[in-house]
Amino acid sequence: MTGFVSFVGSGPGDPELLTLKAVDRLKRADAILYDDLSSGPILAHARPGADLVGVGKRAGRPSPQQRHVSRLLVDYARGGGRIVRLKSGDAGLFGRLEEELVALREAGIPFEIVPGVASPFAAAAAMGMPLTRRLTARRVQFVTGHDTDGRLPPDLNLDALADPAACTVVFMGKRTFPALAEALVARGLPSDTPALLAEAVGGPEASFLRTTVAALAELLAGEIGPKPALIFYGSLAEGEGAP
């Protein structure tokens, strides 16, 4: 019999941010295919004997290609049982979810999607910082800073991203932020626009740096380090959380 796949959002890495539904699916899974950022204590919820298969992709490191991950997921599901595809944050937000859904649909394999806490919300909560502000930031926009070739995506809407009244969150943008910042300033974004670098959100090594767009671009033009990160800029409220 064909198996059933649960795409489970694991949140940013803190096991206490897992939903009850996520924990239930992990406990009942016969196999769990997990991202790098979904490993560690989160996998403690797996039942004894479940297959645990790492399929995570990290920038600058050897990683499985997406077609191989999709193929592996289909193969496990065709073997029957309950399969969890464990993705960091929320599976539908820059998580390559669509390619895997297409593979399952083409193979006739049923699935469900269990949402998770997205890392921008966890970072804002840790900082005691709302993402919207009643009179100044009425819009939040999420964007990837990393194309398939590792460069800044060429089709970004720079006019929208240069809006200083929006709260903009850049995923996977440490390497490309200097180029993005240069393009945004050229479109009219003030170089002293507030910015926040949030690294390893949800983990024990989490760190937060408040600065400006220009200063952050200068910082990231040097050594960026291996920690996964989010970059916030625009109308950012002052928070009372982590320094």
**Dihedral pair phi/psi, residue 23, rounded to 5°:** -60, -40
**pTM, rounded to two decimals:** 0.90
Please check the confidence at residue 63 and state whether its pLDDT lies above 80.
no
Q: Is 240 a member of any domain?
A: no
Calculate mean pLDDT across residues 15-31. Answer: 97
Tokens of residue 115, six digits: 């949402």
CA distance 186 to 178: 12
Among 24-28, 64-68, 146-150, the range with the most confident prediction by mean pLDDT is 24-28
Q: How confident is the model at residue 243 (pLDDT cuts 50, 70, 90)?
A: very low
Residue 12: which domain range?
Answer: 4-117
- Residue after which a domain boundary falls, among 117, 141, 174: 117
Least confident interval from 57-61, 124-128, 221-225: 57-61
Do residue 127 and residue 220 come from a single domain?
yes
Q: How many domains are contained in the chain? A: 2
Based on the fold, state whether residues 111 and 125 are members of the same structural domain: no
Catalytic residue among 35, 87, 127, 163: 35
* pLDDT of the residue at 2: 85
Q: Is the dihedral of CA 109, 114, 120, 126 positive or negative?
A: negative
Residue 107 sits in the same domain as residue 124 = no
- Identify the band that residue 228 occupies on the pLDDT scale cut at 50, 70 and 90: very high
Q: For the segment 186-225, what is each residue's pLDDT rounded down to a tens digit?
A: 999 999 999 999 999 988 899 999 999 999 999 999 988 8
Question: Does some domain include residue 9?
Answer: yes
pLDDT bucket at 61, cuts 50 / 70 / 90: low
- The amino acid at 166: A
CATH number at residue 169: 3.30.950.10
Q: Is 174 a catalytic residue?
A: no
Mean pLDDT of the chain: 91
Which residues are 229's β-sheet partners? 199
Residue 74, pLDDT > 50, answer yes
Give the residue from 142, 13, 170, 169 showing the smallest Cα distance to 89.
Answer: 13
Q: What is the CATH number of the domain that holds 30?
A: 3.40.1010.10
Let me know if residue 241 belongs to a domain. Answer: no
Please give the share of the chain, as a percent, with pLDDT higher than 90.
Answer: 77
At 15, the pLDDT band (50, 70, 90 cuts) reads very high
Q: What pLDDT, on the 0 to 100 scale, is given for residue 53?
A: 95
Q: Is residue 41 part of a domain?
A: yes
Q: Domain boundary residue among 89, 117, 145?
A: 117
Active-site residue identified among 30, 127, 172, 174 = 172
Residue 242 lies in a domain: no
Listed residues 83, 117, 151: the one ending a domain: 117
Backbone angles phi, psi at 142, to 5 degrees: -105, 140
**Which residues contact residue 116 at a Cβ distance below 8 angstroms, ignoring those fewer than 6 apart?**
8, 9, 10, 11, 17, 18, 19, 22, 87, 88, 89, 90, 91
129 catalytic residue (yes or no): no
Per annotation, catalytic residue among 21, 24, 36, 57: 57
Q: How far apart are CA 238 and CA 236, in angstroms?
A: 6
User: Quick check: is 172 catalytic?
Assistant: yes
Are residues 108 and 124 located together in one domain of the fold? no
Average pLDDT for 27-31: 97
